[in-house]
Amino acid sequence: MTTKGEQTKARLAESMLELIQANGYSGTGLNAVIDHASAPKGSVYFHFPDGKEGLGVAAVELAAKQFGDLIAEASNSAGSPAVAARYAIEALADIVGRSNFRLGCPVSVVTLEMGAESERLRQACAQAFESWIAPTTALLEASGLLSAEARDLATVIVSTIEGSVIVSRAMQSTQPLKSAADVVAALINQRCQMAGERS
């Protein structure tokens, strides 16, 4: 059972995440986070003594977990890596579309805004991307790809998804994400077929 303090800390991280998605890292102030989370004043520095940077790291870690859970769900419910990738991308397209294109990937937002300013935030973002690349690599390896080949393809997949989220928001259309789903699925099928022919 979580304590009241733990619940407040979680609410603050969730609010920071939502506000970064909508307003960017630079556009998100601590007072806005406190108001959004309906948290007591002073709670930010109690739970995050290093202030906004620490709260930003917590938000990035939460985003990493959420998309990681989506990858795991897709992998467990799909019959192949291509189907899993399509499932994950289509789920993201639904989230972006339902938010009226206000919500995107907070990890890419923080990377672009703060990657050169805060080494701690850059590392948190790098770890988030790695937490998505690693299980995708494992899924591809299980389908017969060699380790290095699987890693390269997993990196391309995650990078493609990140880019298509940004383009979808700019164009106010989920078509870039849908196109990414088609191309990624076809690429995975092609590589897995080549691996099968090799073995």
pLDDT of residue 104: 87
CA distance 120 to 126: 10
What pLDDT, on the 0 to 100 scale, is given for residue 78?
80
Residue numbers of the chain with a pLDDT score lower than 50: none
What integer pLDDT is reported at residue 1 of this predicted model?
62
What's the CATH code, domain 60-198? 1.10.357.10
Q: What pTM value is reported for the model?
A: 0.92
- pLDDT tens figures, 23-64: 999 999 999 999 999 999 889 999 999 999 999 999 999 999
